[in-house]
Structure 1
Amino acid sequence: MTELVTWSESGGVGKTTTAINLGAALGRRGDDVLLVDLDPQPASLTAAAGHAEAKTADGTTITDVLLDDGDLRELLIEDEPFDLVPGHESLASLESTARAQGISTAEFLLRSSLAPVADDYDHVIVDPPATLNLLVDNALIATGNVLVPMEMTRKGEQSIGGVIDTVTALEAQLQRAQPDFALDVIGVLPNKVEGSSLNQQVRETLEAETETVRLLPVTVPDYNVLAKAWDEGLDVFRYADEHGLRAYQESLLEAYEDLAAIVAAHGADERQAVANTDD
């Protein structure tokens, strides 16, 4: 199973759009995919998938499950081409609640909650908020892999260092208790690319920093069809099925399909490494 988190410390870079469309691309390959919304904000993965009402619904929530009061399978919304664990507004209080209950290993709540479904999916994609907090820690620890969507701008170029530093620091912290723990940055995804000279300059700068940054060979263009799909609660593939795309917009689907192939290959490499270790 491939587990990853789409995350950047900068907001507005398209991490949630990446999560839903990557999930859709993987599902259309025939894989079983689970998306997990770990963001309490209304405009998050749950809304993008067409289930905004779940963010404020009564009953068992993801927060309850994380606090060991429920089973993640109770929350599943089964929907082609992926299943969804909806987020909830109560996630905003998870950190204070965990502190009040004296939970000393609060960073591992999601990893424990995902265990019952580990054998049911080929891929699990977690989408937390951008702000570094307990929710982000849970997402990183539960998955061990980070995909970083990034705008090819000077702001984006500056932010990538912060992401790498955060991942490295958290990895070192956890290795004191678990020496074999690792956090892997799968790569940086050039996202919302307009084709400007600045975009190209930033790309060239990152391509030169091969020791610290792996720039993925995929470019997601900044087309307004992504916003239209979001407004309708659809991934871009389902939007294309229902409304069609202009010829030039087809490159969007190809980009997410290429990204899905990279993620699937990364998962296969991880499984092979584990098999080699067991041997």
Structure 2
Amino acid sequence: MTSTTQTTRHVAVALQKGGVGKTMVSINVAGALANRGHDVLFVDTDPQGNATEGLGFADTYLEDAPHLASILADGEGDLADIVLEHEEMDVVPSNIDMFTAEAELVSAMQGRRRLERAVDGLLEERDYDFVIYDTPPSLLVMTDSALLAAGNVLIPALAEETSTRALDILFNQIDTIEENFSTTVREVGVVANRVEPDGESKRMMDWFEETFGGAVPVFEVRKRVALKRAWNNSVSIFEHDESSDMEVVFDDIAAHLEAEL
């Protein structure tokens, strides 16, 4: 690949609450960046492998080593050996052995830094403009690893009351990571996902705006069947043969990441 920028920019898409459409957001943000002409690496750090399946690589999820799990657990190996080519982006797929690897990384030396080192090693061989990390719906080792590797977090959340507690927990975890690793993890945006035209959604959108006070943008993604159909066809909405008004929103997110990182 030929990079169009001098510095690779990294973004983790993270929230420990399940069911918020985190993987859909990750894939479409990556697709939006690719659509704007960027070379994108997508790293699926979720042991469940939803993004791996959603990008059409379900078969690799069950393959034997080498895979992401073995590279992280052993602390050696080359990500370049497992990168897959998707029509929109390059992909580091997840693997079923990630469940075991995550447990091993808890006590491994520099376990939470191994993903960062592995990606840095890949970037010495290949040029990418952006690396997007899809994370598990938990605040365990792999989410910590992605936040440390990225240094930036894009937060997907539902426009409902349960999101307030989930955001508090995420921010507390980020504070802990920053303190324990002497680093900074920057919130770069909130994606209110599956927004419905009802009173609760409106109240939550107001709450998002008040809470973040303009410090980071809040993007509104409405529930659209075209996004699901794109997923079923293993592509982002930008490569899907059906258009959607949500393309503009994801393009806005990509433009924001271009400008801010």
TM-score by length of 2: 0.91
Q: Which amino acid aligns with 1:104?
A: M
1:61 to 2:67 alignment:
yes
Equivalent pair of 1:38/1:129 in contact (CA under 8 Å): yes
Task: State the identity %.
Answer: 27
Q: Counterparts of 2:136 and 2:39 in 1: how far apart (Å)?
A: 24
Equivalent pair of 1:62/1:87 in contact (CA under 8 Å): yes
2:163 paired residue number: 156
SS of the residue 1:17 aligns to: helix
1:236 paired residue number: 237
- Report matched runs for 1:231-270 at 5 Å: 231-239=232-240, 241=241, 244-245=242-243, 250-267=244-261
Q: Specify every segment of 5 or more residues in structure 1 that has no aligned partner in the other structure, as ranges.
A: 176-180, 268-279
Equivalent residues, number: 251
SS of the residue 2:187 aligns to: strand
2:18 paired residue number: 11
1:111 paired residue number: 116
2:32 paired residue number: 25
Q: Cα offset for 1:253?
A: 0.7
Q: Cα offset for 1:254?
A: 0.7
1:48 to 2:48 alignment:
no
Q: Counterparts of 1:106 and 1:69 in 2: how far apart (Å)?
A: 12
Superposed CA deviations along residues 25-46 of structure 1, whole A, max 9, x for unmatched, are 101111110000011114x111
Q: Cα offset for 1:157?
A: 2.6
Equivalent pair of 2:25/2:156 in contact (CA under 8 Å): yes
Q: Specify every segment of 5 or more residues in structure 2 that has no aligned partner in the other structure, as ranges.
A: 1-7
Equivalent pair of 1:154/1:202 in contact (CA under 8 Å): yes
1:270 paired residue number: none
Q: Counterparts of 2:198 and 2:31 in 1: how far apart (Å)?
A: 28
Q: Cα offset for 1:188?
A: 1.3
1:169 to 2:169 alignment:
no
Q: Which amino acid aligns with 2:122?
A: V
1:271 paired residue number: none
Equivalent pair of 2:45/2:134 in contact (CA under 8 Å): yes
SS of the residue 1:236 aligns to: coil
Q: Which runs of 4+ in 1 moved over 4 A?
A: none
Equivalent pair of 2:78/2:122 in contact (CA under 8 Å): no
Q: Counterparts of 2:128 and 2:30 in 1: how far apart (Å)?
A: 12
1:143 to 2:145 alignment:
no
Q: Which amino acid aligns with 1:236?
A: I
1:189 to 2:191 alignment:
yes
1:219 paired residue number: 220
Superposed CA deviations along residues 178-204 of structure 1, whole A, max 9, x for unmatched, are xxx211111211111112121111111
2:201 paired residue number: 199
Q: Counterparts of 1:15 and 1:201 in 2: how far apart (Å)?
A: 21
Q: Cα offset for 1:79?
A: 2.0
Equivalent pair of 1:188/1:214 in contact (CA under 8 Å): no
Name which of 82, 93, 113 aligns with 2:89.
Answer: 82
TM-score by length of 1: 0.85
